[in-house]
Amino acid sequence: MKEDLLETIELEMAILGRRLTSVTPNKAQTNLDRATYLLLLKLFVQGSLGVKVLATELQLDMSTVSRQAATLEHKGYVNKIPDPLDGRAYFYQITELGKTELLTYKQMRMEKFRGLVKEWSDEECEAFGRLLKKFNQALHQK
Amino acid sequence: MKEDLLETIELEMAILGRRLTSVTPNKAQTNLDRATYLLLLKLFVQGSLGVKVLATELQLDMSTVSRQAATLEHKGYVNKIPDPLDGRAYFYQITELGKTELLTYKQMRMEKFRGLVKEWSDEECEAFGRLLKKFNQALHQK
DNA sequence: TTCCTGAAGTTGTATAATGCAACTAATTTG
DNA sequence: CAAATTAGTTGCATTATACAACTTCAGGAA
């Protein structure tokens, strides 16, 4: 039963994982880094959220999110608004500057991926995206 | 032209990238870590190689590979053999213990992936593996 | 042969991303 | 009201990486 298929996925995932953690500090390119990108995107899509909810949804430790949010606040990409109903809690709200940066960074990423799949058929791109999404959902479950 | 397909790939790749860099030191599970895994695999498949060649093939800095190789040597998974023809160079050779660990670690990884794709059809697994491989090759080029 | 250039490898230092544990302050519950 | 819980922060540790400076050796040029 599909042992070799599994083996390919396992191997290629290892390779991909390593490539994706290659440091290369994306100097000068943009002010956003890949860590805070998803956090900012979440705030863009879902509106204002607190550290707790963000950490849960991103499946990260609160300490990590807390730091990422602080970084974004320093850069002026989000505002930190005290929750009027809970003195311990805050909402992080994306700013106009944050939206601009987010879009810029997204565009830059998309150009990179465009170059990588430029010889691929639409069918392949569609399948790849769909399966990646499905895989991520499986990862998210367990 | 396939802008939305590209967008999906871009997004899902960001999510995957983050999940794959989650630290969770795989305590007690095995003595091998994901960094040295590919290095050891390379030595298993291709025979004895030096730091330079390994660094080139793995697309890593020599300093990184040098440290990883030293770690593997400490654990007894590789032997460091001076190159008789070049006083500066060495060959790293996988040991029997190294092979055992490699196989164990690979099995553990495969079980994890098996769980993730257990509801997938063989066609989906095949396509996912193939496209991952194709994507990695594109990454390798540029 | 000697000298200079370059190559293989190592080590020091820096950076990025993360988690765990201890802490603070505020809220909720009994 | 006191105790337990929760939101968030901060200190510390770990993993993975790159760049730069260094050491030792090799190989060609003068």
Domain ranges of chain B: 31-141
pLDDT at A30: 65
Asked whether residue A128 carries a pLDDT value surpassing 80, the answer given is yes
pLDDT over 70 at B6, yes or no: yes
Interatomic separation, CA of residue A34 and C1' of nucleotide C15, rounded (Å) = 14
Report CB contact under 8 Å: B7, A120: no
Question: Which pLDDT value is given to residue B89?
Answer: 95
Give me chain B's average pLDDT, please.
91
The whole-angstrom separation of Cα B101 and Cα B74 is 14
pLDDT band per the 50, 70, 90 thresholds, residue B130 = very high
Question: Which DSSP string corresponds to B35-94?
Answer: HHHHHHHHHHHH-SB-HHHHHHHHT--HHHHHHHHHHHHHTTSEEEEE-TT-TT-EEEEE
Between the two ends of chain B, the Cα-to-Cα distance in Å is: 23
Residue of A1, A4, A7, A18 to mutate when probing chain B, most B C-beta within 10 A: A18
Return the pLDDT at A25: 61
- Of A133, A104, A29, residue with least CA distance to B19: A133
Amino acid found at A128: F
Among residues B44, B45, B25, which one has the least CA distance to residue B35? B25
- Give pLDDT tens digits for A67-91: 999 999 999 999 999 999 999 999 9
Fold of B31-141: Arc Repressor Mutant, subunit A (1.10.10)
Give A32-141's CATH code, choosing from 1.10.3720.10, 2.40.30.30, 1.10.8.10, 1.10.10.10: 1.10.10.10
For A92, the enclosing helix (H) or strand (E) is: strand A90-94
Nucleotide nearest residue B92, measured CA to C1':
C9
A82: which 2 tokens? Answer: 């005290």
Q: Tens digit of pLDDT for each residue in B19-65?
A: 888 766 555 456 678 889 999 999 999 999 999 999 999 999 999 99
Q: Quick one: pLDDT at residue B30?
A: 63
pLDDT at position B81 over 70: yes
Cα-based angle A37, A46, A49 (whole degrees, multiple of 5)? 85
Higher pLDDT, A33 or B52: B52
Q: For A40-61, how does the pLDDT look when each residue is reduced to its tens digit (9 = 90+)?
A: 999 999 999 999 999 999 999 9
The answer to whether the CB atoms of A113 and B13 lie below 8 A apart is yes
Residues B80 and B90: beta-carbon distance below 8 Å: yes
The CA distance from A39 to A41, in Å, is: 5
Residue closest to D25 C1′ by Cα: B88
Partner residue opposite A132 with nearest CB, options B13, B129, B142:
B13
Q: How far apart are CA B63 and CA B91, in angstroms?
A: 16
pLDDT over 60 at A102, yes or no: yes
Model pLDDT, residue A35: 85
